[in-house]
Amino acid sequence: MPAPIVLHYWPTPNGHKITIALEEMGLPYEARLVNIGAGDQFRPDFLAIAPNNRMPAIEDPDGPDGQPIAIFESGAILQYLARKTGQFCGRTERERIAVDQWLMWQMGGVGPMAGQANHFLRYAPQMDPPQVLPYAQDRYRNEVGRLYRVLDGQLATRRFAATNDFTIADMAIYPWAAGWERQEQTLDDKPHFARWLDDCASRPGVQRGMAVAAEARSAAPMSKEEMELLFRQR
Ligand SMILES: N[C@@H](CCC(=O)N[C@@H](CS)C(=O)NCC(=O)O)C(=O)O
């Protein structure tokens, strides 16, 4: 039995990408909580493996050549785990290119844009004094909608984002897309996207991954201290 992968994690969409991957791939792992509202991401031991002070990060005692390795950035972690297991990354070179393409589409598009939509639609209005910025709200809401319509078009001709199989591209997109209501989106004009959300949500590995330490994250509004810590970094 190989030593477990240590996952530095908080139950957010970027964290869920990796719990889903580890569950779907059947890799043993231990999730160590990085409470980003309490500032755990600034602890020297975490910064030593994730200098960008963002989770997720992993430490794999059985890395390349059997030597330990630490990795940050969720897309890089997904690609590493897919290469390590030979799973969820496409069967042919054409499929692998499609998987990388949709993974990068998530990393450069959906993640940052939906993150900003969440910020301006949900968090900024809760600040003291409230920051309600209609231009920013419209811009990020519209851009997220545009991205989901692009995905809807793609899903008209294949079951999952990159291929007819579930891949690391779906693992990256799903945890963000599952928050479509919070991002003030509609499914009415996106039937294929709606079908894909259901297909992903029905997978036991996705369900287990989304549930890891769900109780650690409070549904209550963020405190002033948490907002200060997360939103005023320089
Ligand atoms: N591009 C990074 C983004 C990770 C990220 O933004 N993580 C957030 C939580 S979802 C975080 O750790 N935030 C801590 C902070 O802002 O200090 C990745 O995909 O791994």
- Residue 221's pLDDT band (cuts 50, 70, 90): confident
Q: What are phi and psi of 36, to 5 degrees?
A: -75, -20
Q: Considering only CA atoms, which residue is closest to atom 12 of ligand 1?
A: 54
Q: Are 21 and 47 in contact (CB under 8 A)?
A: no
pTM of the model: 0.97
Q: Considering only CA atoms, which residue is closest to atom 2 of ligand 1?
A: 73
CATH number where 74 lies? 3.40.30.10
pLDDT tens, residue by residue, 71-119: 999 999 999 999 999 999 999 999 999 999 999 999 999 999 999 999 9
Residue 54 and residue 107 in one domain: no
Residue 66 and residue 158 in one domain: no
Residue 14 and residue 69 in one domain: yes
Residue 219 and residue 195 in one domain: no
Residue 121 and residue 174 in one domain: yes
233 pLDDT more than 90: no
Cα of 94 vs centre of ligand 1, distance in Å, is 30
Both tokens assigned to 42: 């600034």
Residue 99 and residue 186 in one domain: yes
For ligand 1, say whether the CB of 230 is within 6 Å of any of its atoms.
yes
Average pLDDT over residues 2-31: 97
Domain encompassing residue 68: 5-87+211-231
Q: In what order do the strands lie in the sheet with 29-33?
A: 29-33, 5-9, 57-60, 69-72
Residue 75 and residue 139 in one domain: no
Q: What are phi and psi of 8, to 5 degrees?
A: -90, 120
The residues facing 31 across adjacent strands are: 7
Reported in sequence order, the residue ranges of the chain that DSSP labels E, i.e. its strands, are: 5-9, 29-33, 57-60, 69-72
What CA–CA distance (Å, rounded) separates 103 from 75? 7
What is the b/e burial string over 155-177, where b = at least 16 CB atoms within 10 angstroms of the residue's CB? beeeebbbbebbbbbbbbbbbbb
Q: Which residue has the higher pLDDT, 32 or 229?
A: 32
Both tokens assigned to 77: 């972690």
Residue 82 and residue 131 in one domain: no
Q: Considering only CA atoms, which residue is closest to atom 14 of ligand 1?
A: 54
CATH number where 108 lies? 1.20.1050.10
220 pLDDT more than 90: no
What CA–CA distance (Å, rounded) separates 7 from 152? 32
Residue 162 and residue 73 in one domain: no
Residue 121 and residue 80 in one domain: no
What mean pLDDT value characterizes the chain? Answer: 97
Residue 110 and residue 179 in one domain: yes
Residue 11 and residue 66 in one domain: yes
For ligand 1, say whether the CB of 53 is within 6 Å of any of its atoms.
yes
pLDDT tens, residue by residue, 129-184: 999 999 999 999 999 999 999 999 999 999 999 999 999 999 999 999 999 999 99
- Number of domains into which the chain is organized: 2
